[in-house]
Structure 1
């Protein structure tokens, strides 16, 4: 559903008045900086090189990482989920799961193993949140992956609830190798390209770097303060 902007002119005019200047109606010319070091980090790195950087960063952010291909993805997910104690499992409603051959795992193997799987369903309202709260494992998909920081980027929409990634005890992100970029700079560029191509912006964009953690209290790192206690990235070699 497309939102409607209301009272925009009134709001912008009020801001201009408070700043004691006329309201600007023309676009601002982008400055041309002489030095742009943000473009030089990992410049020209191949996807394999970026993957190597991601693996090293995952050691720092307390996140396990596994590399597989679409043929072995189902068995890899099954193994990772089992290592975390099994279900309940909550996922997005995403056609890529079927594309990657996960229907047999989700709809046949896990029910046979008595592993409860819940797929986000817009029509079920608050039940989605309740299921996410009770889930042991969440499975989502990274749209863009920052190698330097080990960050996955999730786009929320009506079939991809935000609570899936932060209410369950364990967070699993499926990471297509093709989504790897060096750092935030390239991620921002890619998001702009997506918007220019599709004309759409996700209702919420989450940048997640491993399990939740905090070092606010006496600089002592505590993992799992306000979200998943454990995190795992499963990189899919889709190139």
Structure 2
């Protein structure tokens, strides 16, 4: 249910009157700039070129990256999780895990291997957060991926808790190759188009660039202060 703003027009009219301005127009025309440098970066780059940019950027943001296809995705996830110390593991409840063949790993193989696994369940309330706090690895999926900065964009929902990406000690993020775009410019446009079409937009959209990083005034980098201290991107060839 959308909220309402009480007496909005009356309030704005009063402000514009005090400022000696004319009444606010109902709509503001978007300016058309003669130069758009934001579109020039990686202009025309295809998905393979964007992937190479992402791989190079991952070195700068201290992030492991693996490129695989759907047939080897389960093995890639198992290896990364094993390299990161195993469970407990928490993941989103996301239909894309079924699409990529990961559900058997989450719901069958890991329990059989005595790896503690928890899938986010909105009906379990605070229990989800408590498990995420104790988890060693959190697994999510990128909705949009910015090649230039190595940033993943995560749309939260009742089944995709935002704490899955920042409470566990390590973060594993599945990146569909089709989600790659050059930079923030394109991500903002995608989100704006969703709004214009009336699509449901997540109440929380997280832009995450590798593991948690913080630097003091002397630029001494400390990793893991306010989130995962290790992060891995697993790019899935889905084009």
Rounded to whole Å, the distance in 2 between the matches of 1:42 and 1:199 is 28
Could you say which residue in structure 1 is the equivalent of 2:67? 67
Corresponding residue number in structure 2 for 1:3: 2
Show the counterpart of 1:238.
Answer: 238
Query: 2:80 is matched with which residue?
Result: 80
- The number of residue pairs the alignment matches comes to 238
Q: Following the alignment from structure 2 to structure 1, what is the Cα–Cα distance between the partners of residues 213 and 84?
A: 19
Deviation at 1:12, TM superposition (A): 4.1
Counterpart for residue 126 of structure 2: 126
C-alpha distance 62-199 of structure 1, shift in aligned 2 (>3 A): same
User: 2: distance between equivalents of 1:90 and 1:155?
Assistant: 17
Task: Check the 8 A contact 2:13/2:24 in 1, yes or no.
Answer: no
Report the alpha carbon displacement of residue 217 of structure 1 after superposing the two structures with TM.
Answer: 3.9
- Give deviations 1:141-169, integer Å, cap 9, x for gaps: 00000000000000011111111111000
Q: Give the aligned CA root-mean-square deviation in angstroms.
A: 1.6
SS across alignment from 1:65: strand
SS in 2 for 1:72: helix
**Distance in 2, Cα, partners of 1:8 & 1:59:** 52
Tell me if 1:151 matches 2:127: no
Aligned to 2:37: 37
| Distance verdict in 2 for CA 1:14–1:82, change over 3 Å | farther
TM-score, normalised with respect to structure 1:
0.94
**Superposed displacement of residue 135, structure 1:** 0.4
Counterparts of residues 100-179 of structure 1 (less than 5 Å)? 100-179=100-179
Unaligned runs of 5+ in 1: none
Find the residue that maps to 2:70 and give its secondary structure: coil
Superposed displacement of residue 32, structure 1: 1.4
For residues 143 and 193 of structure 2, the distance between their equivalents in structure 1, rounded to whole angstroms, comes to 13
Q: From the superposition, tell whether residues 31 and 124 of structure 1 become closer, same or farther in structure 2 (CA, over 3 Å).
A: same
1:54 Cα deviation from its structure 2 partner: 0.1
More displaced 10-residue stretch of structure 1: 139-148 or 26-35: 26-35
SS in 2 for 1:71: helix
Deviation digits for residues 6-62 of structure 1 (CA, Å, limit 9, x no counterpart): 326165456546755455132111111111110000000000000000000000000
Classify 1:218/1:33 alpha carbon distance in 2 versus 1 (closer, same or farther; 3 Å): same
Please state how far the C-alpha of 1:200 moved relative to its aligned partner.
1.6
- The structural deviation recorded for 1:218 is 2.0
